[in-house]
Amino acid sequence: MDNNIIDEEVLKELNNMPVDELEKIQAKIKEAVKEIESLKEGDIYE
Amino acid sequence: MSSISKEIEKAVQLKTQIEEERPKAKEYENAIRYISELFASYTNAPDINSIFDSLFYQYYVDQIQSIVGEDYRISDEIRYLNCCTYFSKLADSKETALKITRSSINRELEGATDEKGKEDSEKKLRRFEDAVNVISNATIKESSYLLVNCPTLEHRNFKTDSLSEAASSAYKNYSEYTLNSVSTKLKFYDNYIGIIKFNKKLESLSDEDIIELYASMPNITEAIKKADIAISNLENEKETLNKELENKKSEVKIPSAEEIENDEKELKNIYDNIAFLGIDPEQNQRYISAKEALSRKKAMIENPESATEYSMEVSNIESQITEINKKIEEERNRKSSVENKEGIKDMPREEIENRLREASGLDFETLNILKNSNSLQYQSYNYMVQRDVINDILRKNESDIKIKTEKIEEQKLGLSRLIQDKEKLETSITELDSTIEEIKSKNEAISNFYNDPKLNYLLQLGRVYTMEQPKDITQEEINLASSFATVESEYEELITGLVLKESNNIEGELRIITRNAQEGRNNYDSWVEKLNNPSEKLSFGEKHQLKKSISFYEKERKAEDDEIIEKNNNFNNIIQKYISLCYERDKVILNYAKQNCAEAYEALKNKNTQGAYSYYGNVSRGLSVSSILCSNSLYLGAPLYGLRELNELRQRNEYQLNYYNSRISSTNEYIETLEAEIKQLQEKNAAERAYLSRLEKGELYPSLEEQALYNQLDTSELDINSEEYESEFKQQLGIGEESVGKTR
């Protein structure tokens, strides 16, 4: 269940972040999503 | 570390955890499989719910305690109460189930008579204890996979062969669910950052810059490109239709007699040219088309109304062209509207910003949800995420249902083949019964032959002549001698016929018996090979079926088949020699008897009584010897032997019939299991849909009032296992019996 909860604190933090900081965080997020998606697609259950 | 960095790190850790848990889950799945198999083999119980449930006892307790301790929900509380009742019933069965298996292995160990047997049992016991430890120590997610996959605690009905598949599938579901959740959440943050950046960018732009930005948006340029392609395609389509229209219009005109005449000449030319090439013009497309076109023209002259059909076709094409023209116009307008910067200049800035938002591909809807943020709206959003995950599960279940339905079709096909084989076998048994009857009557005939009073009298007579003093031949004796010759001839016929027929019978039946034994043995060898061949990708169910067949064969048939095959290899040769020897031997005896009979008859006719006595003596001795041999040889023995073998064959067919019946019954059982699984999936989907519907209506999350009420509850001194507590609890919250049946 915790996996789904969007943390309000995180949103506030993002709202107050400068653009260059946002860029860095977004790049990290994209990287993490990519890894997770590749794990989902890969043959992880065999 | 910032909150967002922690979130990212948490997601990555979760991903790593799933990767690391994989081998543990596999080990766990194998342990379940091993214990399940042992339990099933010792108790002959296909349903091992009790041991399975009991192995998860501690897990359930931990799970529920963690739910109550950390993230309390009304539906979880109800589930907790349900679980407590359930566990109280399971507590005993856990010990019983494990005790049965453990003591069975111990009994084996005690009963082992040789070193190898002892070693095997010790090994088995060690493996069993290891497997129990693996499952008992499963405090992490391995065990939760199964829980997640079970719609309700009360409805789990796993069979032995589907248990480890269920464990594996549950693990997959759990992993997919977790990965989907973290990925969705991260994508949300990604989108949110995109929106913040987008808004900041918009704020920094002048009105002119905004128009430029709009025109340069990838979506806009993409839209223009798409419109160009669409227009070009439509133009091509229009051109094709125009050509078709021209052709049709020319066909609509009623042809003149001269035109028909020319066409006929042309058709004949085509015919001659094609025929000249040695090709049948009636098979040639060019000739056929020309002929059809001429027929249409002729029909139009004979029946001018047929031209109307062409007119309708023409009109149809014209309306298609009009439709395409409209589409082209629409595409052009679309293109011009996105291209027209001048038009945009006149728009209010807010409108342009809205268009830019639309073109950005960012999810502003989510942003709007979060604009007026408070706890319940966040939950609404979270439920939306859940909705996507549930839809994924629904899709997956539907696909499982499809696969299982196909499996049922496959099984039904196999079943129909089995039934056909069974029917053949039944026919064969009926035929065997009739052959057995036939042989019985043959045996009777042979027995009767040996018991024939006439033959016995002759034999006795022979002895009398041999042992007593000679006396005058009477007329009666002459008559007897004459009939004796007839008997001898019948006897010869019988010997010859029987030896040949029965040798054929024996050979035939032996062939059938041996073939069946060999077939059985071949099947067995192929099962063993398939099972041990790592390149065969066998499902657990298939492996189980193979093991079952192998064990069934080893127990019921193998020793006997092996003996038949071995015996037959030697026996086939021996029987051939034996038949041949018997035949030759009896022919010699018969010829000797025949010769002496003839001599005796001649002697009697010549009143040479002394000579006749001597010949009769020879005949009698010959026949006596032959008779003794016959009783031990194939004449009588062969049909008897054949009868025994036929009875064995019949028994074997009975065994096969039972085997088919057992296969049919287990196939039916498998189909029923699949149908039950489909039903379970359908029920699961129905439950998911109901959950989804309530989720969308906002019925599932407790209202702020309910939360406040819960916060006031003091549960520390209550016996939460009691029915009173459950009832009081529900009363306080004002809810009915309800179980969502899911932990998300």
Q: What is the pLDDT of residues B163-222, one digit of tens each?
A: 445 455 556 666 776 777 788 788 888 888 988 888 888 888 888 888 777 777 666 677
Average pLDDT over residues B223-247: 85
Query: pLDDT band for position B470 (50/70/90)?
Result: very low
The pLDDT of residue B81 is 45
Rounded Cα–Cα distance for residues B78 and B737 (Å) = 8
Q: Is the pLDDT of residue B47 over 70?
A: no
B13 touches chain A (CB under 8 A): no
Which range, B416-430, B589-603, B700-714, has the best average confidence (pLDDT)? Answer: B416-430
- Give the model's pLDDT for residue B88: 42
- How distant is the Cα of A21 from the closest Cα of chain B, in angstroms? 10
Contacts of B197 in chain A (CB under 8 A): 19, 22-23, 26
pLDDT of residue B440: 64
CB contact under 8 A, B18 and A44: yes
In this prediction, residue B367 carries a pLDDT of: 58
Q: Work out the percent of chain B whose per-residue pLDDT is above 90.
A: 0
Cα–Cα dist B542/B546, whole Å: 6
Whether pLDDT at B358 is above 60 = yes
Indicate the range of B35-49, B50-64, B388-402, B630-644 predicted with least confidence.
Answer: B630-644
Backbone phi, psi, residue B720, to 5°: -75, -5
Q: Which of A2, A6, A7 to substitute to test the interface with B, most B CBs within 10 Å?
A: A6
Q: How many CB pairs under 8 A join A and B?
A: 104
The string of pLDDT tens digits covering residues B699-711 is 554 444 444 443 4
Question: For residue A46, what pLDDT band results from cuts at 50, 70 and 90?
Answer: very low
Tell me what pLDDT residue B50 has.
Answer: 46
Measure the CA–CA gap between B247 and B267, rounded to whole angstroms: 19
Distance, in Å, from the CA atom of B706 to the CA atom of B732, rounded to the nearest integer, reads 10
Residue B659 has a CB neighbour count (10 Å cut-off) of: 19
What is the spatial distance between Cα B503 and Cα B574, in angstroms, rounded to a whole number?
12
Q: What pLDDT band is residue A31 in, cutting at 50, 70 and 90?
A: very high
Of A23-37, B395-409, B444-458, B585-599, give the range with the top mean pLDDT: A23-37
CA dist B126 and B129 (Å) reads 5
> Are the CB atoms for B122 and B109 separated by under 8 Å?
yes
Of A1, A9, A32, the CB nearest to B186: A32
Looking at residue B461, its pLDDT comes to: 46
* Most confident option among B37-41, B250-254, B419-423, B604-608: B419-423
Q: How far B725 CA lies from chain A's nearest CA (Å)?
A: 27
Closest CA in chain A for residue B367: A11
Confidence of residue A24 (pLDDT cuts 50, 70, 90): very high
Put simply, the answer to whether B180 touches A40 (Cβ < 8 Å) is yes
Q: In this model, does residue B123 exceed pLDDT 70?
A: yes
Highest mean pLDDT out of A20-24, B222-226, B627-631: A20-24
Instruction: Write the Ramachandran bin of B607: left for phi over 0, alpha for psi from -120 to 50, otherwise beta.
Output: left
| Span of B439-448, B505-514, B618-627 with lowest mean pLDDT | B618-627
Minimum mean pLDDT among B82-86, B188-192, B591-595: which range? Answer: B82-86
Q: Check whether B110 has a pLDDT greater than 70.
A: yes
**Between B628 and B646, whose confidence is greater?**
B646
Rounded CA gap, B66 and B48, in Å? 28
Identify all chain A residues contacting B7, using CB atoms and an 8 Å cutoff: 7, 10
pLDDT at B227 over 80: yes
Mean pLDDT of A31-42: 82
Position A21 scores a pLDDT of 92
Please write the tens of the pLDDT for every residue from B652-663: 667 767 777 777
- Per the prediction, chain B carries an average pLDDT of 66
Q: Which of residues 370-409 of B touch A (CB under 8 A)?
A: 370, 373, 378, 381-382, 385-386
The fraction of chain A above a pLDDT of 70, given in percent, is 74
The confidence score (pLDDT) of residue B407 equals: 78
Q: Do B190 and A37 touch (CB under 8 A)?
A: no
On chain B, the residues whose CB falls within 8 A of the CB of A28 are 5, 8
Average confidence (pLDDT) over B642-652: 62
Q: Do A40 and B186 touch (CB under 8 A)?
A: no
Q: How confident is the model at residue B573 (pLDDT cuts 50, 70, 90)?
A: low
A45 or B516, higher pLDDT: B516
pLDDT at B208 (0 to 100) = 82
Q: Which pLDDT band holds residue B605 (cuts at 50, 70, 90)?
A: low
| A4 with B171: Cβ contact below 8 A | no
Instruction: Establish if B294 touches chain A: CB-CB under 8 angstroms.
Output: no
For position B416, what pLDDT does the model report? 81
Nearest to A37 among B183, B197, B378 (CB): B183
* CB pair distance less than 8 Å for B3 and A10: yes
pLDDT at residue number B84: 44
Q: Tell me, what's the pLDDT at B560?
A: 79
Q: What is Dmax (Cα atoms) for chain B? A: 156
Residue among A8, A22, A37 minimizing CB distance to B378? A8
Cα separation, B680 vs B673, in Å, equals 10
Q: Which residue of A has its CA nearest to B67?
A: A1
Instruction: Return the sign of the alpha-carbon dihedral for residues B435, B439, B440, B444.
Output: positive
Interchain contact B184–A (C-beta under 8 A) = yes
Task: Judge whether residue B744 has pLDDT over 60.
Answer: no
pLDDT of residue B336: 79
Encoding tokens for residue B127? 């493996």
pTM for this prediction: 0.36
B503-to-B348, B509, B577, B587 alpha-carbon distances in Å: 110, 10, 11, 16
Tokens of B49: 């719910």
Least confident of B153-162, B326-335, B550-559: B153-162
Q: Is the pLDDT of residue B713 over 80?
A: no
**Nearest CB to A1: which of B22, B71, B370?**
B71
pLDDT given at position B686: 78
Amino acid B159: pLDDT? 34
| Cα distance between residue B458 and residue B446, in whole Å | 18
What is residue B89's predicted lDDT score, i.e. its pLDDT? Answer: 43
Query: Is B281's pLDDT higher than 70?
Result: yes
Residue B277, pLDDT > 50, answer yes
**pLDDT exceeds cutoff 90 at A30:** yes
Surface-to-core class of residue B593, CB atoms within 10 Å of its CB (0-12 exposed, 13-18 middle, 19+ buried): buried
pLDDT-wise least confident of B14-18, B526-530, B539-543, B698-702: B698-702
| Residue contact B193–A25, C-beta within 8 A | yes
Q: Which residues of A touch B (CB under 8 A)?
A: 1-11, 13-15, 17, 19, 22-23, 25-26, 28-30, 32-33, 35-37, 39-40, 44-45
pLDDT at position B96, please? 55
In chain B, residues 315-334 whose CB comes closer than 8 Å to chain A: none
The reply to whether residue B15 touches residue A35, judged by beta carbons under 8 angstroms, is yes
- pLDDT, residue B589, reads 58
pLDDT of residue B76: 43
- In this prediction, residue B57 carries a pLDDT of 47
B 32-71 near A (Cβ less than 8 A): 71
Contact call for B381 and A6, based on CB within 8 A = yes
The mean-pLDDT minimum among B273-282, B394-403, B468-477, B673-682 falls in: B468-477
β-bridge partners, B47: B159
Question: How much is the average pLDDT of B79-106?
Answer: 55
Residue A28: its pLDDT value, please?
93
B183:A33 CB<8 A: yes
Residues from chain B contacting residue A8 (CB–CB below 8 Å): 373, 378
What pLDDT is stored for residue B92 in this prediction? 43
User: pLDDT-based confidence at B335, cuts 50/70/90?
Assistant: confident
Alpha-carbon distance of B572 to B601, in angstroms, equals 43
CB contact under 8 A, B15 and A11: no
**CB-facing half-sphere around the CA of B160: CA atoms within 13 A:** 21
The reply to whether residue A8 touches residue B194, judged by beta carbons under 8 angstroms, is no
Q: How confident is the model at residue B139 (pLDDT cuts 50, 70, 90)?
A: very low
The whole-number pLDDT of residue B152 equals: 34
pLDDT of residue A29: 93
B442: nearest Cα among B392, B497, B395: B497
Q: What is residue A23's predicted lDDT score, i.e. its pLDDT?
A: 93
Residue A15 has pLDDT above 50, yes or no: yes
